[in-house]
Amino acid sequence: MRLAQQGDSKAYARLFQKITPILRAFVGKKLNNPQDAEDVVQEILISIHSASHTYDTDRPFKAWMFTIARYRLTDHLRALYAKIEKGRDVNFEDEAYQLSSSENVTEAYENREYLGKIMSSLPRKQQKIVTMMKIEGYSAKETAQKLNMSESAVKVSAHRAYKALALKAVEEDE
Protein backbone atom coordinates (compact mmCIF):
# COMPACT_ATOMS: atom_id res chain seq x y z
CA MET A 1 0.00 0.00 0.00
CA ARG A 2 2.90 2.31 0.74
CA LEU A 3 4.12 2.00 -2.88
CA ALA A 4 0.58 2.31 -4.20
CA GLN A 5 0.13 5.57 -2.29
CA GLN A 6 3.28 6.82 -4.01
CA GLY A 7 1.69 6.16 -7.41
CA ASP A 8 3.08 2.71 -8.24
CA SER A 9 0.17 1.19 -10.18
CA LYS A 10 1.86 -2.24 -10.46
CA ALA A 11 2.23 -2.40 -6.67
CA TYR A 12 -1.43 -1.39 -6.36
CA ALA A 13 -2.50 -4.22 -8.69
CA ARG A 14 -0.30 -6.73 -6.79
CA LEU A 15 -1.78 -5.58 -3.50
CA PHE A 16 -5.33 -6.24 -4.69
CA GLN A 17 -4.31 -9.61 -6.16
CA LYS A 18 -2.86 -10.63 -2.80
CA ILE A 19 -5.65 -9.38 -0.55
CA THR A 20 -8.61 -10.66 -2.60
CA PRO A 21 -8.20 -14.35 -1.63
CA ILE A 22 -7.59 -13.34 2.00
CA LEU A 23 -10.80 -11.32 2.01
CA ARG A 24 -12.74 -14.13 0.31
CA ALA A 25 -11.63 -16.51 3.04
CA PHE A 26 -12.52 -14.00 5.77
CA VAL A 27 -16.01 -13.29 4.41
CA GLY A 28 -16.56 -16.92 3.42
CA LYS A 29 -16.16 -17.93 7.06
CA LYS A 30 -18.93 -15.52 8.04
CA LEU A 31 -21.47 -16.00 5.23
CA ASN A 32 -22.56 -19.29 3.73
CA ASN A 33 -24.11 -17.76 0.62
CA PRO A 34 -21.28 -17.62 -1.99
CA GLN A 35 -22.99 -14.92 -4.05
CA ASP A 36 -23.51 -12.67 -1.02
CA ALA A 37 -19.95 -13.36 0.12
CA GLU A 38 -18.55 -12.33 -3.26
CA ASP A 39 -20.69 -9.17 -3.26
CA VAL A 40 -19.32 -8.27 0.18
CA VAL A 41 -15.73 -8.93 -0.97
CA GLN A 42 -16.27 -6.58 -3.91
CA GLU A 43 -17.67 -3.91 -1.58
CA ILE A 44 -14.61 -4.32 0.65
CA LEU A 45 -12.25 -3.94 -2.31
CA ILE A 46 -14.09 -0.82 -3.46
CA SER A 47 -13.93 0.61 0.06
CA ILE A 48 -10.20 -0.12 0.32
CA HIS A 49 -9.67 1.59 -3.01
CA SER A 50 -11.80 4.59 -1.99
CA ALA A 51 -10.12 4.91 1.40
CA SER A 52 -6.56 4.12 0.31
CA HIS A 53 -5.53 7.73 0.88
CA THR A 54 -6.47 7.38 4.56
CA TYR A 55 -4.13 4.47 5.22
CA ASP A 56 -1.36 5.47 7.64
CA THR A 57 1.81 3.65 6.57
CA ASP A 58 3.05 3.69 10.16
CA ARG A 59 0.23 1.34 11.14
CA PRO A 60 -0.25 -2.35 10.22
CA PHE A 61 -2.00 -2.73 6.87
CA LYS A 62 -3.87 -5.91 7.78
CA ALA A 63 -5.54 -4.30 10.79
CA TRP A 64 -6.69 -1.41 8.59
CA MET A 65 -7.89 -3.79 5.86
CA PHE A 66 -9.79 -6.07 8.26
CA THR A 67 -11.43 -3.08 9.94
CA ILE A 68 -12.85 -2.08 6.58
CA ALA A 69 -13.83 -5.70 5.92
CA ARG A 70 -15.73 -5.96 9.21
CA TYR A 71 -17.60 -2.72 8.51
CA ARG A 72 -18.66 -3.88 5.04
CA LEU A 73 -19.77 -7.24 6.41
CA THR A 74 -21.77 -5.42 9.09
CA ASP A 75 -23.30 -3.21 6.38
CA HIS A 76 -24.39 -6.32 4.50
CA LEU A 77 -26.00 -7.81 7.60
CA ARG A 78 -27.65 -4.48 8.44
CA ALA A 79 -29.20 -4.40 4.95
CA LEU A 80 -30.40 -7.95 5.41
CA TYR A 81 -32.07 -7.06 8.70
CA ALA A 82 -33.58 -3.94 7.12
CA LYS A 83 -35.41 -6.22 4.67
CA ILE A 84 -37.09 -7.85 7.65
CA GLU A 85 -38.09 -4.48 9.11
CA LYS A 86 -39.65 -3.52 5.78
CA GLY A 87 -41.74 -6.67 5.85
CA ARG A 88 -39.83 -8.57 3.20
CA ASP A 89 -39.48 -12.26 3.82
CA VAL A 90 -36.00 -13.47 4.63
CA ASN A 91 -35.82 -17.12 5.55
CA PHE A 92 -33.04 -17.43 8.12
CA GLU A 93 -33.53 -21.17 8.13
CA ASP A 94 -32.17 -21.10 4.57
CA GLU A 95 -28.51 -22.12 4.70
CA ALA A 96 -27.60 -19.17 2.49
CA TYR A 97 -28.41 -16.70 5.27
CA GLN A 98 -26.86 -18.46 8.21
CA LEU A 99 -23.73 -17.01 9.72
CA SER A 100 -20.97 -19.45 10.36
CA SER A 101 -18.82 -17.70 12.87
CA SER A 102 -16.02 -19.05 14.96
CA GLU A 103 -15.69 -15.71 16.76
CA ASN A 104 -15.94 -15.66 20.50
CA VAL A 105 -19.17 -13.74 21.19
CA THR A 106 -17.89 -12.51 24.55
CA GLU A 107 -14.72 -11.22 22.92
CA ALA A 108 -16.76 -9.41 20.24
CA TYR A 109 -18.85 -7.77 23.00
CA GLU A 110 -15.70 -6.74 24.88
CA ASN A 111 -14.28 -5.24 21.68
CA ARG A 112 -17.45 -3.19 21.13
CA GLU A 113 -17.37 -2.09 24.77
CA TYR A 114 -13.70 -1.08 24.42
CA LEU A 115 -14.40 0.80 21.19
CA GLY A 116 -17.25 2.66 22.88
CA LYS A 117 -14.96 3.58 25.75
CA ILE A 118 -12.20 5.05 23.59
CA MET A 119 -14.71 6.70 21.23
CA SER A 120 -16.19 8.54 24.22
CA SER A 121 -12.82 10.24 24.70
CA LEU A 122 -13.36 12.14 21.44
CA PRO A 123 -15.27 15.41 21.11
CA ARG A 124 -18.90 14.83 20.03
CA LYS A 125 -18.40 16.11 16.48
CA GLN A 126 -15.43 13.78 15.94
CA GLN A 127 -17.42 10.88 17.39
CA LYS A 128 -20.18 11.60 14.89
CA ILE A 129 -17.74 11.85 11.96
CA VAL A 130 -15.98 8.59 12.85
CA THR A 131 -19.31 6.83 13.36
CA MET A 132 -20.70 8.07 10.05
CA MET A 133 -17.59 7.27 8.04
CA LYS A 134 -16.35 4.06 9.64
CA ILE A 135 -19.45 2.43 11.04
CA GLU A 136 -22.28 3.72 8.86
CA GLY A 137 -20.15 3.79 5.69
CA TYR A 138 -20.71 7.39 4.60
CA SER A 139 -18.07 9.00 2.40
CA ALA A 140 -16.34 12.20 3.52
CA LYS A 141 -18.47 14.13 1.03
CA GLU A 142 -21.73 12.62 2.32
CA THR A 143 -20.65 13.20 5.92
CA ALA A 144 -19.81 16.82 5.13
CA GLN A 145 -23.24 17.36 3.56
CA LYS A 146 -25.09 15.78 6.48
CA LEU A 147 -23.11 17.74 9.08
CA ASN A 148 -23.10 20.99 7.10
CA MET A 149 -19.30 21.09 6.97
CA SER A 150 -16.77 21.31 4.17
CA GLU A 151 -15.40 18.02 2.91
CA SER A 152 -11.85 19.06 3.82
CA ALA A 153 -12.94 19.95 7.37
CA VAL A 154 -14.49 16.49 7.72
CA LYS A 155 -11.29 14.84 6.46
CA VAL A 156 -9.11 16.87 8.83
CA SER A 157 -11.41 16.13 11.77
CA ALA A 158 -11.53 12.43 10.88
CA HIS A 159 -7.74 12.26 10.61
CA ARG A 160 -7.35 13.92 14.01
CA ALA A 161 -9.92 11.55 15.51
CA TYR A 162 -8.12 8.48 14.10
CA LYS A 163 -4.82 9.71 15.54
CA ALA A 164 -6.44 10.38 18.92
CA LEU A 165 -8.04 6.93 18.92
CA ALA A 166 -4.73 5.30 18.02
CA LEU A 167 -2.97 7.16 20.86
CA LYS A 168 -5.73 6.22 23.29
CA ALA A 169 -5.48 2.57 22.23
CA VAL A 170 -1.71 2.59 22.81
CA GLU A 171 -2.21 4.20 26.24
CA GLU A 172 -4.81 1.56 27.13
CA ASP A 173 -2.43 -1.25 26.12
CA GLU A 174 0.35 0.03 28.38
Q: Which CATH number belongs to the domain containing residue 149 in this structure?
A: 1.10.10.10
**Structural domain harbouring 168:** 106-174
* The pLDDT value given to residue 78: 83
* The pLDDT value given to residue 149: 94
Within this chain, do residues 14 and 85 fall inside the same structural domain, yes or no?
Answer: yes
* The pLDDT value given to residue 44: 93
Q: How many domains does the chain have?
A: 2
Give the C-alpha separation, 65 to 2, whole Å: 13
DSSP 8-state symbol, 122 = S
Q: State pLDDT tens for residues 28-59.
A: 888 877 888 899 999 999 998 888 888 888 88
Of 102, 136, 164, the residue that ends a domain is 102
* The pLDDT value given to residue 165: 80
Within this chain, do residues 2 and 77 fall inside the same structural domain, yes or no?
Answer: yes
Chain mean position to CA 114: 17
* The pLDDT value given to residue 86: 61
Helix (H) and strand (E) counts in the chain: 8, 0
Q: State pLDDT tens for residues 131-168.
A: 888 777 788 899 999 999 999 999 999 889 888 887 77
Chain mean position to CA 37: 15
Burial class for 31, CB neighbours closer than 10 Å (0-12, 13-18, 19+) = buried
Within this chain, do residues 84 and 46 fall inside the same structural domain, yes or no?
Answer: yes
Between 121 and 101, residue with greater pLDDT: 121
